[in-house]
Structure 1
Amino acid sequence: MRFHHNLLQGTVDALHQIFNEGKYADQAIQKILKRDTRWGSRDRGFIAETTYDIVRYKRLYAAIANVKEPFNPADLWRLTAVWIVLKGHDVPAWEEYYNTPVRRIKGKFDELSSDLKYRESIPDWLDDLGRKELGEELWAKEMSALNKQADVVLRANTLQTDVKTLQEKLLAEEIQTTTDERFPDALILNERANVFQTDLFQNGLFEVQDAGSQTIAPYLQVESGMRAMDACAGAGGKSLHLAALMENKGQVIATDIYKGKLHELKRRARRAGAHNIETRLIDSTKVIKKLDSKIDRLLIDAPCSGLGVLRRNPDAKWKLQPEFLDEIRATQQEILQSYSRVVKPEGLMVYATCSILPSENELQVEKFLASEAGSNFELLDSQSLLAHRDGFDGFYMARLLRKN
């Protein structure tokens, strides 16, 4: 493989922003990619994928390179050298790579790879927690899968098209996709492509949404004409899916505490042709009280650690802290306690997270059911998606019935 200095310089600059300045990886990469208009899609893809790869394996690569944070420019170049060697490529004869110890890099990799914390690059505290909650074998399998690059998955917007028609239209634009019978609205890209630039996206024929995420809205069992609520809607990926499943009939009430996210949801809804979504900002408890016992279907896609989506956000494991997990578990229970009141008798509630930890999932549902607020609810069923088993992001969802 022939390397270009300016592309690796872009990678080093992105890594500096992520590791030393605390920027989110996706934002840092997007900023770097705007720097040189001469870069084509292959160049941009190289910078993005190489940066994400080094972020995923920061602990392993730093140990092999014998460098510690904060990384100076020479340290960051050493990280890229480790990446080049471990990918099986020849190290370029550049000043930054003089005296790169290729044999020592390979030997150190072999030595460290027997330790899961280094092999999969996990902070000590998180490795301890994962082993405790999932067991050593399952934790190891899942972390290995979560270090793989995620597929690009589209959800056909059935308000505008169907999977087969969309697949044909994408093929006409030389974008090949594959279907999966487990996910009826999903198209999986055979090769990565910038689908956001297509007229098909601009005209609302699809959204980019992981296949695992696409299982949550159908799990709520909505029907046309119902009144559904997406309690932690964010920018509205699942609200849009609910609107499509309800064929634009009935009402989807999308709530969030962030005005900016709801503004983005409105924009996305217009593009998708989803006319039955109403956004409501949670700026006081009155918003929830007004909906007391008036909702047929409630989705709580709760804020969580995000450990199930590390393939997309590999820097999250470096930003995550133990105290945040304690806070987020308290928030999850608080949301369950307060929002569950809006469900009608005989209505359904789905509690979902993009976490793989039982303490954020099954144990939260058990705690809710044992509380006064949960005494009127019954757990009907639950489902977990795991990256190593199901091939997509990790999710948990539980469906509960309000009895009276």
Structure 2
Amino acid sequence: MKLDLAREAALKILYEINEKGAYSNIALNKYFSGHELTERDRAFVTELVYGAVKWKLTLDRMISACSSIRLEKLSPWIRNILRLGAYQLQYLTRVPPSAAVNESVKLARRYGHKASSGFVNAVLRNIAGGGGKDVIPDKAVDPVGYLSVRYSYPKWIAGKFAELFGEKFTESLLEAGNQVPDLTVRANMLKITADELIRELKTEGVDALPGKYVRESVVIKGPVSVSGLEAFRKGLFQVQDEGSMLPALVLAPQPGEKVLDACSAPGGKATHMAQLMNNNGLITAMDIHEHKLKLIKDASDRLGTGIIHTELHDASLPVPQHEGMYDRVLLDAPCSGLGIIRRKPDIKWARENRDIESITALQRRLINSVSKALKPGGVLVYSTCTLLPEENRCIIREFLDNNDEFYEDDIAAFLPAGLSKYASGGMLQTYPNRDGIDGFFIARLVRKGK
């Protein structure tokens, strides 16, 4: 019995994610680094893993409706085999149903006991025949339940979004969170322009086009192994969504200045700031984890940004020697990550509503700490990749209420055309469904004086 290598790889990776708490992107990269797979198989594995993670709640409802055994009573291997099979049946129309069922049965024979293959066969054939179609609640009777199951989100997220944004916008937002995002990169303007990068990529057989808003952004089309590209090895670009490029643009660091990047890893924003500073000045890239400092250094070395100096420190604790030292401070704060679910779907299942209180407590400590490092007249940018006001506007309002030496600075002048109209004073919130980029919050504050 020969197993399909891609499906077996997807099963092993999914097991690491669902049963051992691994992050999907890290689990995929770890597996790929240790196994030889064709580009086609790598793309299929990635699609299977992200799809099964993304649609887990809906898939589990369908499986439960078609199974005589409760989901939690199944072995983890069989549970994940069923998820992969059901995902192919429901969401991958190009995969013949017979292939989805038969390959899942083969996996069950290898990873289950004697009766497992028959059980998997029965459940998946039931789903293929239309079983489990009625698991989605009636929209008129239970609108939050409908949103949760229809788009595979925990009920607390669907309910919170509906309360904040209304049902119509929320439905669009949840749908956008399930779409495959563009692979966007930032041209390293120290070495190449965006147009030149597009031409350079074309010589390697890669189609690319300009991004939506940011002049240095480039969208790569089609599946591609980025690390295998010569343009990547030569430091001509950095993988980075346009939403993630906005904080550095709003901070607008100038050549010769001293900048603190308080929660810097993996270094995308620090290297972007070095680019904006024309590699002239000083950037202190701080992180609490030593192994993450290496990520920053590796990115800086590859891109040729020589002004970044890493520092191991907990940014929630002030550094006396940093007080009043920096012209600009970027605080890209740890957050719930609800604005980048389309990129990291496991965030749906890793977060709980009760987490928000501890996250916001850390965000308050961080902004109060790093603000002390700013010179009078200096600029502080606070950013997150979440959509929740309690992690965003509420943090800024509370900080300003308690620190009258800071004020909001008009953010619109620092934003790309197409986004400035959404600015509100010193703040901007982007949304995947409205803007086509990751959901980011950015606030620009200035310390009085000078």
TM-score w.r.t. structure 1 length?
A: 0.93
The answer to whether the 8 A contact 2:61-2:135 is kept is: no
Aligned partner of 1:49 in structure 2 is 47
Listed as ranges, the matches of 1:5-404 within 5 Å are: 5-34=4-33, 36-37=35-36, 39-66=37-64, 68-69=71-72, 72=75, 73-86=77-90, 87-88=92-93, 89-92=96-99, 94=102, 95=105, 96=117, 98-99=121-122, 100-101=125-126, 102-105=128-131, 107-108=133-134, 115-180=146-211, 182-282=213-313, 288-371=319-402, 374-380=403-409, 381-404=426-449
Q: 1:310-369 CA distances to partner (integer Å, 9 max, x unpaired)?
A: 112111110112332211100001111111111111111111000011111111100111
Which deviates the most, 317-326 or 126-135? 126-135
Tell me if the contact between 2:241 and 2:437 (Cα under 8 Å) persists in the aligned partners. Answer: yes
What's the RMSD between the two structures over aligned residues? 2.2
- CA shift for structure 1 position 286: 8.1
- How far, CA to CA, are the matches of 1:286 and 1:82 in structure 2? 48
Q: Distance in 1 between matches of 2:32 and 2:137?
A: 35
1:280: Cα distance to partner? 1.7
Q: Is the 8 A contact 1:85 1:106 kept in 2?
A: no
247-256 vs 388-397, which moves further: 247-256
Distance 1:186 1:284 in 2: 29
The alpha-carbon deviation at position 44 of structure 1 amounts to 1.0
* Higher mean C-alpha displacement, 68-77 vs 7-16: 68-77
8 Å contact from structure 2 (residues 318, 370) kept in 1: no
| Residues 298/36 of structure 1: CA separation in 2 closer, same or farther (3 Å cut) | closer
Instruction: Give secondary structure in 2 for the equivalent of 1:155.
Output: strand
Per the TM alignment, residue 205 of structure 1 is displaced from its structure 2 partner at its CA by 0.9
Paired AA for residue 245 in structure 1: L
User: 1:275-328, CA deviations, whole angstroms, 9 ceiling, x for partnerless residues?
Assistant: 111222216988622121221111110000011111121111101123322111
- How many residue pairs match? The answer is 399
Worse-superposed segment, 8-17 or 102-111: 102-111
Q: Which moved more, 1:148-157 or 1:71-80?
A: 71-80
User: Contact conserved, 2:287 with 2:315, CA < 8 A, in 1?
Assistant: no
Residue 296 of structure 2 aligns to a residue whose secondary structure is helix
Structure 1 gaps of 5+ residues are: none
Partner SS state of residue 367, structure 1: helix
Mark the CA change 1:214 to 1:45 in structure 2 (over 3 Å): closer, same or farther.
same
Aligned partner of 2:19: which letter?
A: N
TM-aligned CA distance change 1:128 to 1:249, over 3 Å? same
CA distance 1:285–1:155, change in 2 (3 Å): closer
Listed as ranges, the gaps of 5+ residues in structure 2 are 65-69, 106-116, 410-425
Return the offset for 1:109: 5.9
* Partner Cα separation in structure 2 for residue 118 and residue 138 of structure 1: 17
Post-superposition offset of 1:110: 6.3
Going from structure 1 to structure 2, the CA distance change for 1:328 and 1:42 (only over 3 Å counts) comes to same
Corresponding residue number in structure 1 for 2:108: none
* Letter paired with 2:51: D
C-alpha distance in 2, partners of 1:6/1:294? Answer: 55
Report percent identity of matched pairs.
Answer: 29
**Deviation at residue 270 of structure 1 after TM alignment:** 1.4
User: What secondary structure, in the 3-state scheme, does the structure 1 residue paired with 2:238 have?
Assistant: strand
Which amino acid counterpart does residue 340 of structure 2 have in structure 1?
V
- Sort the Cα spacing of 1:399 and 1:318 in 2 relative to 1 into closer, same or farther, 3 A: same
Query: Please, which moves more after superposition, 142-151 or 107-116?
Result: 107-116
- Deviation by residue 1:17-62 (Cα, 9 ceiling, x = unmatched): 211222221232234435642x200111101111101100100001
C-alpha change, 1:339 and 1:35, in structure 2 (3 Å) is closer
TM-score (norm 2): 0.83
